[in-house]
Chain A
């Protein structure tokens, strides 16, 4: 009996396989044909800044980013007649991507009169379906310059030069966990030639935590926090925090946020944020960033 049911089973199986190969499996055949070329994750973040600091993203070759970053805040106990906010700090920025992985940029902020420049290089790219490359890593080196008169005089020694510089080196490490969620950790090193009069460190270490969560296809909630390991001693500083919304409108990226950071240069917002994050004047800063993306090179089709 057992020996007789066996061939019937084979027959049934054959029928099934025969019909399925005819109908459905053209697409399955095509699935096998798809090439296994490595694919990289795109848009871990949609903007080259999460909010305060850089994100791992760089623009593609030949892209010019024109940016306008603003922070607005109120001054306490003043008879101000201003509409909206008493004070504003605006950074005018330009950056250009020489290759898909390498970007150079500079900017000038009008309130603290700091000029800054940076180079940014995408070192490692996260891959799709590949455990060998689960992360993206981008290196950023930035430099900021201010005249001694405009600098926080506690921090810089008056002696040598009128021109005061700070240097910030960052390794940005990010992973896109899902289409919605991306997280970034940014170990940062800030160097500044300090005044000899106090015990401020010349070299400061900080670590940044940032993330975005998409709430729909064009909008995401972002947050960032920088923890400073060895803060300066001569002035009270606080770790900078930001929460906001990033909104993509075609070639224009808009960012709205609340933060306690007033400055834009990396060294200043990481190590010199002089107010805590709360809703009292002048601690609360409303930020509005607009970035326009211009393609200087366009592909042509035959």
Chain B
């Protein structure tokens, strides 16, 4: 009885360890967004986005601080955080998803990622296309997708509808290294 239990225990530990080796992390991922509107174009960049890639389970997770976005104008930064995404209350935006038909051996592949995007405290099912390239023991994932401001309960006052686009283009670039805790 005791021996069997020990074996079970060991096997659990072993799978835990292999999981760790299958994980890759990006600590300086880039996310930028663009709003093309008639009054002005708004562009912002976040260079401190965190992402983790679980190759064995074909899963990906992204987490970023809204306050880390940098804008062309400082006032835009204040308004973005204070009046739109309310980063005092919702400091982070996250994404969790599964990479469909992910091929661990392919050096270059374009795959669909199905997941949940959480912005402004609202979670929305999102599918996006990403380019995944593998280079020895590192991964690079890039892509672009569009989110609708309305989906995340971000309110644009009627007088400012011509200042901010209803759909925002998001671009992302993640460079992954093997994950060590």
Contact = CB atoms under 8 A, between A and B. Distances in A.
A23 B25 CA distance: 16
Interface in B63-78: 63, 65, 67, 70-75, 77-78
B84 A30 contact: no
B51 A39 contact: no
B134 interface: no
A147 interface: no
A248 B74 contact: no
Contact of A295 (B54, B59, B75): B75
A3 B63 CA distance: 44
Nearest to B162: A250
B79 A7 contact: no
A20 to B, nearest CB: 12
A14 B74 contact: no
A29 interface: yes
A17 B86 CA distance: 34
Interface in B42-70: 43, 45, 48, 50-52, 54, 57, 59-63, 65, 67, 70
A43 B78 contact: yes
Interface stretch (B103-111, B124-132, B139-147, B152-160): B152-160
B82 interface: yes
A249 B75 CA distance: 11
Interface in A89-139: 128
Given A23-B59, A26-B54, A301-B43, 16 more contacts: A11-B5, A14-B9, A22-B19, A22-B57, A26-B60, A30-B62, A34-B63, A42-B78, A179-B86, A179-B88, A217-B84, A249-B159, A298-B72, A298-B73, A299-B71, A299-B73
29 contacts: A7-B1, A14-B8, A21-B19, A22-B19, A22-B54, A26-B96, A27-B63, A27-B94, A29-B61, A30-B51, A30-B63, A30-B94, A42-B77, A42-B78, A42-B82, A60-B74, A61-B74, A179-B89, A217-B86, A218-B83, A249-B159, A249-B160, A250-B39, A250-B160, A298-B72, A299-B70, A299-B71, A301-B32, A301-B45
Interface of A: 7, 11, 14, 18, 21-23, 26-27, 29-31, 33-35, 39, 41-43, 46, 59-61, 63, 128, 179, 216-218, 248-251, 293, 295, 298-301
